[in-house]
Amino acid sequence: MRRIGFGAMQLAGPWVLGPPKDPAAARAVLRRAVELDVDHIDTAQPYGPDVVNELIAEVLHPYPDDLVIATKVGGARDGEGGWVRASRPEQLRATVEQDLRTLRLERIDLVNMRFGVGGAEPDPVPLAEQLGVLTDLRDEGKLDLIGLSTASADVVRAALEITPIAAVQNAFGIANRTDEPVVDLCREHGIAYVPYYPLGSAFTGGPKALAADPVIASVAAKHHASASQTALAWLLAHYDRMLLIPGTSSVAHLEENLAVDRIHLDDEDLTALDHVTPVGGPSL
């Protein structure tokens, strides 16, 4: 699998609701992604809801043989567009069934169990019941691999006692390395790690904050790259099973993201970048 895929969330309208502002541009991004050998697309039923899945199917179905499609369960949108928990067994099954319909698939390659949707309160549904539904769906041939999203190290360990885990999708990047223990756990077990917010979030300044960091700016200039490209290249070098899913609604931005795998950071670069001060934390 190519280590840079495509996160499709931004193809929905504002606040990840409704159709895209520019449907033609959204279709062009999907077509160009496949033309540039993207073989991993990340989506979810709540994106729209259903809008992004339906757009993917409209543009790309029948899918290339090597295209992996990943979705997430555990959350939904309410009547006002808010994010709500949907983690009961019957809700998880219903979400997978809806993904299959809207994506026009008989089997989904990877389904991530997402935690923490709809508030910080502990989920009353036991992990074993949630993963039990996904393993049932796997046994029924409706999904292939099971992953986790927004999962602590303790949850990953508990999940591994129940079923094989193919991937963990958590917030992580050069400016936010609080999830390093989970990355280490994935490395120990050979699990793919898929970082979201790889360039930081709007709350931490995002790409502008990266560009303002003198170390990142210096390494970027050395490689004739942007600060964002440099931060993504650091992630690829950080773990050999790190899979990136940067999202965009722009073909130009897509092409910039996919050029990252041609950036080869040397040991000096990596040493310098490893000591970049994370946002909200001490220098490592």
Give yes or no: 193 in active site.
no
CA distance linking residue 236 with residue 129, whole number of Å: 34
Answer whether the bond into residue 49 is a cis peptide, omega within 30°. Answer: yes
- Three-state secondary structure string covering the chain: CCCECEECHHHCCHHHECCCCCHHHHHHHHHHHHHCCCCEEECCCCCECCHHHHHHHHHHCCCCCCCEEEEEEEEEECCCCCEEEECCHHHHHHHHHHHHHHHCCCCEEEEEEECCCCCCCCCCCCHHHHHHHHHHHHHCCCEEEEEEECCCHHHHHHHHCCCCCCEEEEECECCECCCHHHHHHHHHHCCEEEEECCCCCHHHCHHHHHHHCHHHHHHHHHCCCCHHHHHHHHHHHHCCCECECCECCCHHHHHHHHHHHHCCCCHHHHHHHHCCCCCCCCCC
Question: Which single residue is written with the structure tokens 């003198």?
Answer: 214
Given a contact cutoff of 8 angstroms between Cβ atoms, the answer to whether 159 and 166 are in contact is no
Given a contact cutoff of 8 angstroms between Cβ atoms, the answer to whether 239 and 193 are in contact is yes
Residue tagged active-site, from 47, 63, 193, 239 = 47
Q: Which residues does the annotation mark as catalytic?
A: 47
